[in-house]
Chain A
């Protein structure tokens, strides 16, 4: 079979000692870069891109792709241990991961994240191997109306991240949406809420806000009651991070669903792994038999988003390899690398440079294996960070937040903005407003608004565009169904005569 032959050739490229070495350097660097807040995969890859100048392109892409998916593993660690997402796509992980760490189950949370990432990541690579052309076709069918419908579906995650009070959760999301409108409005070419300040034209960087609201906000809150953060002495044995049988049974569905959601959303240019992780979290909460445990340290609340973001980082390679268009910020930098190495990205890449494309795909299998081994042993050591007294931990949180925010685009303003959002995050934390809701609004806001306005410009003001196109119509109906599902379930439970589902009151209207 052609495919197997190609893959075999790919492995013969990827398994040369040089390329194994570069894959290892890549995943290790990615792991470290993911741990450093602010230095996400985009910054990490762009920092290392110049070093690949003059390298063999295949080795170079193997290393840089390793950084990309390696950082998805690494980004989990700070999310779980200190509630500071190192990567945009791990915000959803903080919801349950940090709670697990507070309960002394940090190694378990990291372990399930590693295992989920490995399974879903490898699944993603299998899909890349087998279905690249098909999924590229699928991605091309997504025009603005389909994106809008998909984002609407993403907004159904509000219920999952709202926290204890729905009104407060909605307020957080709305404020996040509002923050997302700051900057240059590309549809009208007009600045919004920039007050004449040029540096606000690109808006607030999502990661600067996330580091502030989560990391600094949590640190300021925690320091009010430092005794609430006792030193947690975890075992250093690697067995510590493996899930128990019961935990595995709870998580395996989440890993499968997360992997599917991640693969499908990840392939869509512009949507990316952040949206995938939020959607997977929300899907999991809706599918769960005990949604009330979410946000309080449910292990599947870690498994789902982590599986989704790794699957998404694999399938994000599809548009890059088959169409030659970047699907995310990180793949855009990779595409810049292609040009730097003298390759022409595009539909002919597979035929013109099979050793490059297939070598990369094969290396992703190898890289994922390296990462799972690396992390299984490293997780308990990372979890041992919680041996450090809390007051010393928070000093390092501030340190990395400051350096991370600065190095994002080498801009001292970002540090001040980050601290300001830290103060906001502190107030939100004290008053029990959902920080994840704010981030959700901030991420989805621009996507939703842009695709809505693009659609209506395309249709010249005709709203029926959302229901005339098959993919868009299906997604719209699905979004509405998911929004109504909790009400339906409640009615069913009531009819069955079981006690009500408590605080699970859902709203029925999205933002737009």
Chain B
């Protein structure tokens, strides 16, 4: 966790520096009062200042690794999974990414059906029958609710579904 805290804090520093660099390309002042670059610049500065405190706090946590603290709220690691939770988490994460990226390419029905199939079977560990029923029913329900009733043009695959 301490490593993660430090990395997180350094990300803030990096974001702050990037912001300052980009904000300097925008005019700082307008004809009257602040220009478009005013707020971003000071936000960048604020982030850098805050990140100094964040880094300090993270390092202090490292120094005081007293056993009493071991049970404190956030003493568990960033990647601390419950036993056996890692594989389902990874599958869940990857299928979440996949459904968002494939939504347009595969059409919503196929991508969401596949998402349900994978998550129900290997994340929620259901047996095949309910998995298949949910994987088929969900896109149909969504189609009826969103496309037919609410008339939201969800992306359809070439066959029109």
Contact = CB atoms under 8 A, between A and B. Distances in A.
Contact of A402 (B8, B42, B112): B112
A395 B26 contact: no
Nearest to A418: B100
A456 B35 CA distance: 11
A185 B97 CA distance: 31
Given A188-B35, A456-B33, A225 B43 contact: no
Interface stretch (A97-105, A111-119, A169-177): A169-177
A219 B124 CA distance: 13
A415 interface: yes
A506 interface: no
B40 A178 contact: yes
Interface class of chain A by DSSP: helix
Interface of B: 4-5, 8, 12, 15, 19, 22, 26-27, 30-36, 39-40, 42-44, 46-47, 50-51, 53-54, 57, 73-74, 78, 80-82, 85, 88-89, 92-93, 96-97, 99-101, 103-104, 108, 112, 115-116, 119-120, 123-126, 138, 142, 146, 150-155
6 contacts: A175-B15, A185-B36, A395-B115, A402-B112, A406-B152, A453-B33
A192 B36 contact: yes
5 nearest A-B residue pairs (beta carbon): A456-B33, A391-B124, A461-B32, A407-B152, A395-B119
Contacts of A453: 30, 33-34
Interface in A379-396: 389, 391-392, 394-395
A178 B150 contact: no
B82 A226 contact: yes
Interface string A396-436: 00110011001100101001101100100001001111000
Given A402-B100, A403-B154, A449 B80 contact: no
A4 interface: no
Nearest to A433: B8
Contact of A178 (B32, B43, B99, B101): B43
How many interface residues does chain A have, given as a range? Answer: 35 or more
B142 A178 contact: no
A164 B72 CA distance: 13
A52 interface: no
A512 interface: yes
A457 B30 contact: yes
Given A47-B151, A193-B40, A399-B138, A224 B85 contact: yes
Contacts of A3: none
A224 B81 CA distance: 5
Contacts of A193: 22, 40
A398 B50 CA distance: 33
